[in-house]
Amino acid sequence: NAGVTQTPKFQVLKTGQSMTLQCAQDMNHEYMSWYRQDPGMGLRLIHYSVGAGITDQGEVPNGYNVSRSTTEDFPLRLLSAAPSQTSVYFCASSLQGSHSPLHFGNGTRLTVT
Amino acid sequence: SQQGEEDPQALSIQEGENATMNCSYKTSINNLQWYRQNSGRGLVHLILIRSNEREKHSGRLRVTLDTSKKSSSLLITASRAADTASYFCATDALESGGGADGLTFGKGTHLIIQP
């Protein structure tokens, strides 16, 4: 099993550009989520989904969009990149949300100049 | 908002020694989880301990939970160079929308094992 796969691993954007971070899991998990990790801040939840067609906002959703058309995929879209969105982004999935262990991808390191 | 806070922020010990990391949190929880993160990689789940459990073991790892003090500890025995990583505690708040609201992570303890 591949687990949780994120692409790309690295990305550099200019302010105002848009892009999509891809996340796919092959564990048939209903729950998927996106976190960002910043130095000294720990991980913060951006958006999450409890199943196909259902998404909701986390702690820091502004500037990001998500959709969940299939159980396997949960892409994160940056609408108009800002330097404050420079971060490492992690996708995670689980069987029962926070009631069970999260499985993380290896992250996307994004720099916005 | 940060729920868990790990202590210490950084820890350096000799290989073979035991490493203890602590986590304090603020609100009532369903469970508390510990994760490891190697440099440049994603987080890896280590142990989940439920609010009605006091201690849990997994190999060289021992986790304790004291809900009256809202604290947890992670003990790594007989440390190895490969244990060098950052360790995070994460809490599943009691009012977590059935688990949908996700985990709240602390800032982590950076552990260095000196060979």
Binding-site residues on chain B for chain A (CB distance < 8 A): 1-2, 30-31, 33, 35, 40-45, 48, 88, 90, 92-93, 96-108
- pLDDT tier at B14, thresholds 50, 70, 90: very high
CB contact under 8 A, B108 and A4: no
pLDDT at B1: 47
Chain A interface, best mutation among B31, B103, B107, by max A CB count within 10 A:
B103
The pLDDT tens digits of the residues spanning B80-89 come to 999 999 999 9
Contacts of A27 (CB under 8 A, 6+ apart): A1, A3, A4, A93, A103
Centre a 10 Å sphere on the Cβ of residue A74 and count the other Cβ atoms it contains: 29
How many whole angstroms separate alpha carbon B22 and alpha carbon A1?
Answer: 33
Mean pLDDT of B88-107: 84
pLDDT of B3 above 70? no
Contacts of B41 in chain A (CB under 8 A): 106-107
Mean pLDDT for all residues in chain A = 95
Contacts of B43 in chain A (CB under 8 A): 43, 90, 92, 102, 104
Question: For chain A, how far is it from start to end, CA to CA, in angstroms?
Answer: 36
Q: What is the pLDDT of residue B95?
A: 78
Instruction: For A8, list phi and psi in degrees, rounded to 5.
Output: -75, 175
